[in-house]
Amino acid sequence: MLRRAALCSSLAVAVLLPAAAPAYPPITCGRTTVGGHAYVVRTHGPKCGFAIKWSRSYIAHHRAPTGFTCRAYGSGVPADCIRKGRKNMYFLATKP
């Protein structure tokens, strides 16, 4: 009886915990320049062309792509965009 209760409680904990994030880091797409300032663009999910284009757009015009929520964290991280509903799909631009 005790083993059955322990098994049920461990299964309940496993179901309630969120899935682990993928174990690979974001891909570095390269550098881009906006308004005379250089930035390094990294992506985790979207393709590099998409990440570079929308990073430049967000830094210059504060426009986010459809389905993404973007934020700026000061001058060090002027663009950090996360896909709505899929937190492990994002791209960001940082100072080199």
Residue ranges covered by each domain of the chain: 24-94
Give the pLDDT confidence of 34-81 residue by residue, as tens digits: 999 999 999 999 999 999 999 999 999 999 999 999 999 998 999 999
C-alpha distance from residue 76 to each of 2, 6, 18, 62 (Å) = 54, 48, 30, 16
Across all residues in the chain, what is the average pLDDT? 85
Using CA atoms, how far apart are residues 28 and 19, in angstroms rounded to an integer?
24
Residue 12: per-residue pLDDT? 47
Residue for token pair 């998409």 = 50
Judged against a pLDDT cut of 80, whether residue 21 lies above it is answered with: no
Task: Compute how many other C-beta atoms are within 10 angstroms of the C-beta atom of residue 16.
Answer: 7
Judged against a pLDDT cut of 50, whether residue 83 lies above it is answered with: yes
Its pTM stands at 0.74
- Is residue 23 helix, strand or coil? coil
